Amino acid sequence: MKWSCRRIAALGAVATTLVFAAVAAAGSGLGNGDFERGNFDNWTVTSVGGAEWEVYSGNQTPFIGIPFWRPPQGNWGAVTEEEGAGQTALTRSLSLGTTKTQQISFYVYYQDFCGTFYPWEQEYRIDILADGADPLTTDPGDILKTLFVTKLGDKSTMSPKYKTYVLSGLHGRVTLRFLVTAACNELNGATDKVVLQSAS
């Protein structure tokens, strides 16, 4: 599949940052964690180049129209598309408190048209960042915990899987980041049903 130019002109900017109010909530009621408002309220999208996070419904990506899994929960999910090489981060601030250990759960799924993954070049990763870190950072000092990352040799598709990660040793305010880097070809990374709660 070749890079598509069918995106709306506004997405062709070299750097686009969409900032929404990042509201932290401890507990399963993480506001708009399932994207069922049909938008990115309470989330922040930061993009460079031709990549962008978007909300979607149905069985294809919203602008290019690539066949894709339906959101695994409800009517809406979040997915990335690229009209060219780029990088895009979906983030939100979380308050983990100071006493109870928290855990984060979410659906993760993707399809890659490059044929293989390369670290920091063709990659889908999900991290916990230090509060205030650059959403596109690659500095190991800013990454408190890596929850998920594609690796060289991984399959080019992964259907929706609901995963839970215990955030042991982490307290206070942090940033949850879903980051897609696509330097080779289209990489549709996706998520849905993001839930923060106390670990059992």
Model confidence pLDDT, tens digit, residues 41-93? 999 999 999 999 999 999 999 999 999 999 999 999 999 999 999 999 999 99
pLDDT score of 1: 54
Tokens of 98: 């100071």
pLDDT score of 108: 98
Nearest CA among 84, 83, 78, 95 for reference residue 34: 78
From start to end of the chain, where are the E strands?
A: 15-18, 44-56, 77-95, 102-112, 122-130, 143-149, 157-166, 173-182, 187-198
* Phi, psi dihedral angles at 61 (to 5 degrees): -70, 155
pLDDT score of 99: 84
pLDDT band at 4 (very low <50, low <70, confident <90, very high): very low
Question: CA torsion angle for 127, 129, 34, 42 (degrees, to 10)?
Answer: -160
Q: Is the pLDDT of residue 18 over 50?
A: no
pLDDT score of 29: 53
Contact at 8 Å (CB) between 48 and 15? yes
* Phi, psi dihedral angles at 10 (to 5 degrees): -65, -20
pLDDT band at 16 (very low <50, low <70, confident <90, very high): very low
Q: Is the pLDDT of residue 104 over 60?
A: yes
Q: What is the mean pLDDT of the chain?
A: 88
Mean pLDDT across the stretch 125-150?
97
Q: Is the pLDDT of residue 122 over 90?
A: yes
Q: What is the pTM of this model?
A: 0.87
Q: Is the pLDDT of residue 11 over 50?
A: no
Residue ranges of the domains in the chain?
A: 17-198
- Measured over the CA atoms of residue 21, residue 173, residue 74 and residue 159, the dihedral's sign is positive
Higher pLDDT, 15 or 3: 3
Superfamily of domain 17-198: Galactose-binding domain-like (2.60.120.260)
